[in-house]
Homo-oligomer: A and B are copies of this chain.
Amino acid sequence: MDEFIVNNINQIRAKIKKFSDAGKIIGFVPTMGNLHAGHISLINKAYSECDKVIVSIFINPKQFNDDNDFLSYPKTLESDINILKNHNVSYLFYPDIKDIYPEGFTCDISFSSINNKLCAIDREGHFNGVGLILIKLFNIIKPNKVYFGLKDYQQYVLVKNLVSFLNYDIDVVSQDIIREKSGLALSSRNNLLSDNARLNIAPKLYYILQDIKKVINDNQDIDLINLILNYKEKLLRYGFSKIDYLDILDNNLDNYNFKISKNARIFVAAIIENVRLIDNIEL
């Protein structure tokens, strides 16, 4: 019987080789599990563009800079498997941590231009860990296309650049953020919030992003530094305990300059009930 869940690296390789030998286009959605409608939108997009879709679930310790964050990351394997089967995913690659990071030799990867802004500042080593696991997964799965949600916009930019710089022959496809009815961007971490925080406070992130966008579009000459300061204070008054950043950057994460480009985004990361939430919108 052809098992749906594949733990073994050589086994997933062999199964995917059958697909690619038959000329199938392979789509790949790497995840850390606890699947929600955001992941499902990635799988659906992959299916609209590929013949076969592979999903991985691996909570990658190297991309967590905080042990508690790693240990408390929500795990819902049984419901994840049901979701994947219901969406016609070919295989779930669910490797063991000791096979991904065996003892002995290791290598580390680091980046020139992604590591000094936004989430990289508060999550030291996070993107190096993301880069390493993706190189490993790309080498195992050998996908034609990979799918990433824009909630983790900096991760998307990193993957685009990494794939291009390391000469991987892979299309990196983005998918818009999926939101709860309240406007809150879907995230596995939302499950860690109390009802009050999730329904009444966390949605303010999206609310203020839209507000800032409106203010800037109404007045291109506004003092951005003061604007940002005011909205940071607003978030604290709403009940966030800390604002890691509220920033406007170019689409490629360079500094924003009204005169150079209108391709910019507003980014926010803020903490509530010890849970770090992020969001961003196009300006």
Contact = CB atoms under 8 A, between A and B. Distances in A.
A166 B107 contact: yes
Contact of A105 (B106, B112, B136, B142): B112
B166 A105 contact: no
Interface string A100-144: 001011111111111000000000000000010001100110100
A169 interface: yes
A136 B106 contact: no
Copies of this chain held together in the complex: 2
A64 to B, nearest CB: 19
A216 interface: no
A162 interface: yes
Interface in A146-176: 161-162, 164-169
Contacts of A139: 166-169
Contact of A111 (B107, B112, B113): B107
Contacts of A166: 107, 135-136, 139
* A contact patch SS: mixed
Contacts of A9: 167
What range describes how many residues of A lie at the interface?
A: 20 to 34
A214 interface: no
A136 B106 CA distance: 18
A87 interface: no
B109 A113 contact: no
Given A105-B162, A108-B110, A139-B167, 8 more contacts: A105-B114, A106-B111, A106-B112, A107-B162, A107-B166, A135-B135, A135-B166, A140-B167
29 contacts: A9-B167, A102-B165, A104-B161, A105-B111, A105-B112, A105-B113, A105-B161, A105-B162, A105-B164, A105-B165, A106-B111, A106-B165, A107-B110, A107-B111, A107-B112, A107-B131, A107-B162, A107-B165, A107-B166, A109-B109, A109-B110, A135-B135, A136-B166, A139-B166, A139-B167, A139-B168, A139-B169, A140-B167, A142-B169
Closest 3 CB pairs of A and B: A105-B161, A139-B167, A106-B112
